[in-house]
Amino acid sequence: MMLLLLLSAFVLLLLRAPIFFALGAPALAYLSLKGFPLGIAPQRMIGTVNNSILLAVPMFLLAGRIMNIIGATERIFNFADALIGHVRGGLGYVSVVASIIFSAMSGSAAADAVGVGTMTVKAMRERGYDPNFAAAVTLSSATLSPIIPPSIIMIVYGATANVSIGAMFLGGILPGLFIAAGLMIAVGVLSSRRDYPKGRPPTWPRLWKSFKDAIFVLFTPVIIIGGIFGGVFTATEAGVVAVVYVMLLGFIYRTLHFAELFKEVVAAATSVGVLLFIVAISGLDTWVITREQLPASLAGLVTGLVQDPTLIIILILLVVLFLGMFLDATPIILMVVPAIMPLITTAGIDPLHLGVLFSIVCVIGLITPPVGVALYGVAMVANLSIERVFWATLPFFAALLLTITLFIFVPEIITTLPYYFR
């Protein structure tokens, strides 16, 4: 029965059925076939979303959208350009640096891809870069947003797996910087081989001016991350603080208008409504999975094949990587995590280490076809086909896989900061 339900959900996803239908229909069919009252469905759905941690998701999403309309992205780009844009292939490095800064504010790869991508792709094209390269480095840099805190994906994972959101955020800092370094190495190699141009020579007046223009924007991650780990507010409350601070910046810069703000609030609410509806349905799926003892069966199957915790982690991540080609990060977390948690406990795997790795691999799904949200966003901004953008991204994709391999075998990169500050 369980195998049939899982196959039904997967077939529906392949047929491009809406995610809520693909996840919900098999679960409702299970209730009907087993003779359970359908009233169980709304009970499980409401209970799943009745979690205060999930309040941070709409707040960080809204903060990222407001950042794009108040001109903050342009200020970040200008500062990064003045800082590192003078080297060969400088705008490639600028894209990575801008994404590092923006990622510490939005937590959304889609927001990063469209916000930073609008600036970087246009600038690179004007300065003679290959449009495919411009789109590829922008897309790969967007993966930093859900890794460097705050991260919407990590919030969903933490709420599902009962792992500290603060620890997840801390665990993502060093991996995010390592991935950024890997992307920069790829930029350097490609820029040197293709003889991409250098930017304007750096000058102190230009650097100082760009820094002054961006200083309040650059202070955003200090407030968010510093407030969380300084004990001033929780990760959930940090989302509200981020929205208020970004709105304040918009009024200071005189670039935020109430009509635009209302439009972004409605757009964010619509996106979050869809997201939380999927989260709610996943609660019903989790109940079905638990009742059918799928976690125990899965644990027995995996431990029968391998017993080494590292190999188990690799198997889980390969499954996530495959699912990421068809699903967004949220349904992957909601479908897979409840099933694997008993296995993680039995195998003695650090849930924090796996959680950050899980989130990073989910991010790769955002840049791969056929359901890569960030991929679609960059292709739209660059006015290129999805296929061209994806093939151009392969060198950066390789850099991502190499850094993930490093994180698997050197877990201290992830766990050191959380355990130091706990």
- Per-chain mean pLDDT for the chain: 81
Q: Residue 123: what residue type?
A: A
What are the pLDDT digits (tens) for 177-188? 999 999 999 998
| 97 to 34, 90, 187, 220, 341: CA distances (angstroms) | 54, 10, 12, 15, 35
Instruction: Write down the pTM of the prediction.
Output: 0.77
**Interatomic CA distance for residues 232 and 355, integer angstroms:** 25
Identify the pLDDT of residue 373: 64
The number of beta carbons lying within 10 Å of the beta carbon of residue 184 is: 20
Closest C-alpha to 359, from 198, 148, 201: 148
Q: What is the mean pLDDT of residues 337-347?
A: 81
**Interatomic CA distance for residues 270 and 222, integer angstroms:** 29
What are the pLDDT digits (tens) for 106-140? 666 666 666 666 677 777 777 778 888 888 888 88
User: pLDDT-based confidence at 357, cuts 50/70/90?
Assistant: very high
User: pLDDT-based confidence at 288, cuts 50/70/90?
Assistant: confident
Q: What is the mean pLDDT of residues 36-49?
A: 81
For 162, the 3-state DSSP assignment is: coil
**Interatomic CA distance for residues 25 and 126, integer angstroms:** 49
pLDDT at 265 over 60: yes
pLDDT at 202 over 70: yes
Identify the pLDDT of residue 111: 63
Question: Is residue 318 within 8 Å of 305, Cβ to Cβ?
Answer: no
Question: Is residue 76 within 8 Å of 217, Cβ to Cβ?
Answer: yes
Identify the pLDDT of residue 151: 81
What are the pLDDT digits (tens) for 93-106? 888 888 887 776 66
pLDDT at 376 over 60: yes
User: pLDDT-based confidence at 48, cuts 50/70/90?
Assistant: confident
